Structure 1
C-alpha cells in the first residue's frame, strides 16, 4: 500500500488499520480504508502518529481452477487448435466449457471439463475467456505434463493467469495470456437417438483413419449387423477395414461394441477425422455415433464425466 504524506523525512512507515471491518480478501467490497501511520524512529524526531486515508484498487479473483496434471489441458488444446483458432472458454460453477466451429462450418468441437476435474475449483460468476489457441499452446508448452496447473482470472479480466507448479521440486512458473473479445454464437446441440453407436479403441480408430488417408480424401462408414466397415476409393486404389463386435476379458481396452437399430452408411472427410484423432491420447476408447443425414459424433470420455466431442457433417452428392 502506498500513502501520500507531508513528512517526507520519514522513509519507513508502519501501517496499522483503524477500520478493519472488511475481510482482507474482499478488497472489491470497498475502496477506502483508514490507516494510522507510525513513522520510523529517529533521534531528531520523536515517534508521532497521524491518520491517512488510503484508496485501494479493487483486484478480485472470480475464477480459480487447479488441475493436478497440466497434460489434460495440453492434450485438449493440441487436439483442437488446428480446427479452431480463437474461442471462448465459458466458465461457471459447473466447470469450464468450450464450443466452436471451424471456419468452413463443417466441424464443431464441444468440450466440458466438469468442476470435479479440478481441485479446488471456484467460479464466483459466469465468465467468458476469449483466447487464441496458438498463444495458449505456446504457453502450455512451458509446462511439464506432470506439473500442477492453476488458472486464475479477475473480475472483468484482460488477461488469464496460469501458474505451473512442479510436483517434485520448488519450481514455480507464472504466465499471463492476453484475452480477446470474441463474438461467438453458442449453438444448441439437440439430443439425438443415433441409429448406430460404436465403442472402439481410440488407437484403432486413429490407425484406420491414418491408413486410409493415404488412398483417398474421403471415407465411407457403413454400419450393419455384420459390423462396421471403413472404406475408401481413390486414384491409386481402394481399401477397407471391417471391425466386428467382440469382447476380450483379458484385454478390455481392445473391445469393440456395436449397438445398431438400423443400418447406416455415410461418407466423411478424412482430413477432419485425422484431426479428431489427435485427441486419442486423452482416452483409451472412442465412441462413434451415426444416423443418416445427421452429423457424426466422435466422443472421447474424460475423467469425472468430462468429455471432448467432435461433430462432423457428412458429405453429400458430388462431395463424396
Structure 2
C-alpha cells in the first residue's frame, strides 16, 4: 500500500507542469526511499528524472515497491482541482487500478477526493552514468528563463560557451542575432563533482576535520595550562623559601616581558582594570560590528541570489535546441537557483534541486548545423 501526504499540493502541480509537454505517459516508481520518475521525450533527445524523497513528505508509507503508470496530462488536470496550499494525499492499494488523490483545505473543512485510472506502461529505467563534467554554472533560475525565452524569439538553437570570460548564450536567427554574457562572481574555480557525488561523505570528512582541529586546539590549551600550573607551583615554592623570592620576581618579570625591575601588585591590578575597561569597550564595538555585519550579510544574501558561479576545467562550447530549454525553464517556480553541467560531446544537465527532492533534465547537443 502507498500513502504519501504532501503539505502543499503546489509542489506536485509545479512538477507536472514542468514535464507535461515532454512526457505523455510515465511510471511513478514508489519505494521506501520515495517516489521517482524517469522518462524520455518522443524524439529521444531529452530525458527527465524526478525524485521526491521520503523526508519531503509529511507522511509517507510504501509497503513494497510499486509502479504507478499515469497519463501525465490527465494527472495534471486532476491536480488543477487542488489549491496550491491544499494538503495532498496520494493513496494506492497493492496492484490497484486507480490512484486516489485527496485534497484537504487548510482554511476550511473542505475535503475533495479524485480517482485517476492507472495504466500498464512498459518502460525501462535507464542507468544514468556518473559523469565528470568540464564546466559547472550556477545562476538564478529566473535569469536562465529570461535568457532562453528571449533568444527563442530569434532562432531555434543556442550556443552555450563557458570560458574564462564567463558563460555566453548566443543565438543566430534569419533576421537577427543575439548573445548574452554572464560574468562569474569571483575567480573561476575547478569543477569538483557532478550532482551524483556523495554529499554525505564530503560532510562527514569535513566534520571529522573540524573535530580533529578542535581536539588539537584542546590539547594545546591543556599543554599551556600544564605549563602555567608548573610555573605557579614553582612560584609558590619560591615564596615559601625566603632566599629565592628575588628569583621568583625575576621569573614574573621575564614572563610579562617587562624589564623595569620588580612588579608591584597594585600596578598589576591597575593594569587589569585598564584591560577590563578595554575589553568592555571592544565587546561593545564588536557587538555593534556584528549587528552591522548581520545586516550586511542579509544584503549580500540578497545580492547572491542573482550572482553567477562558474567552475571550469576546460573551455566548453555546445549547441542545444531552445525549444527544450524553454520547457526546462518552467521548473524555475520550484527553486531560485539552477545548475548547468557541461562537457564536450556529453548531454547537458540542467538540475533544479529543491527541498523535497530534485528535477533534472538531460539534453543531447546538436551536431553540425542541424
TM range (shorter): 0.7 to 0.9
Structure 2 residue matching 1:311: 3-state secondary structure: strand
Matches within 5 A, 1:38-53: none
Residue 246 of structure 1 deviates from its aligned partner by 1.6
Q: Does 1:255 align with 2:255?
A: no
Higher relative contact order (CA 8 A, sep 6+): 2
Residue 249 of structure 1 deviates from its aligned partner by 4.2
2:129 corresponds in structure 1 to 190
| Higher Rg of the two aligned structures | 2
Structure 2 residue matching 1:318: 3-state secondary structure: coil
Residue 193 of structure 1 deviates from its aligned partner by 0.9
> Which segments of 5 or more consecutive residues in structure 1 lack a partner in the other structure?
1-61
Q: Does 1:299 align with 2:238?
A: no
CA distance in 2, matches of 1:134, 1:249: 38
2:182 corresponds in structure 1 to 243
Structure 2 residue matching 1:254: 3-state secondary structure: coil
Matches within 5 A, 1:1-320: 62-246=1-185, 248-304=300-356, 306-319=357-370
CA distance in 1, matches of 2:111, 2:155: 47
1:25 corresponds in structure 2 to none
CA distance in 2, matches of 1:192, 1:80: 23
Q: Which has the higher strand share?
A: 1
Structure 2 residue matching 1:251: 3-state secondary structure: helix
CA distance in 1, matches of 2:126, 2:94: 26
Q: Could you list the per-position Cα deviations for residues 19-75 of structure 1 after superposition, in whole angstroms to 9, with x for gaps in the alignment?
A: xxxxxxxxxxxxxxxxxxxxxxxxxxxxxxxxxxxxxxxxxxx10000000000000
Structure 2 residue matching 1:268: 3-state secondary structure: strand
Work out the number of aligned pairs and report it.
257
CA distance in 1, matches of 2:126, 2:70: 19
CA distance in 1, matches of 2:175, 2:55: 49
Residue 318 of structure 1 deviates from its aligned partner by 3.2
How large is the Cα RMSD of the aligned pairs?
0.9
Residue 251 of structure 1 deviates from its aligned partner by 2.0
Question: TM-score normalized by structure 2?
Answer: 0.69
> Which segments of 5 or more consecutive residues in structure 2 lack a partner in the other structure?
187-299
CA distance in 1, matches of 2:304, 2:319: 29
1:35 corresponds in structure 2 to none
Residue 103 of structure 1 deviates from its aligned partner by 0.2
Residue 253 of structure 1 deviates from its aligned partner by 1.1
Structure 2 residue matching 1:87: 3-state secondary structure: strand
CA distance in 1, matches of 2:158, 2:179: 9
CA distance in 2, matches of 1:252, 1:197: 17
Q: Which has the higher helix share?
A: 2
Q: Could you list the per-position Cα deviations for residues 229-279 of structure 1 after superposition, in whole angstroms to 9, with x for gaps in the alignment?
A: 000111011100000112754422112100000010000000000000111
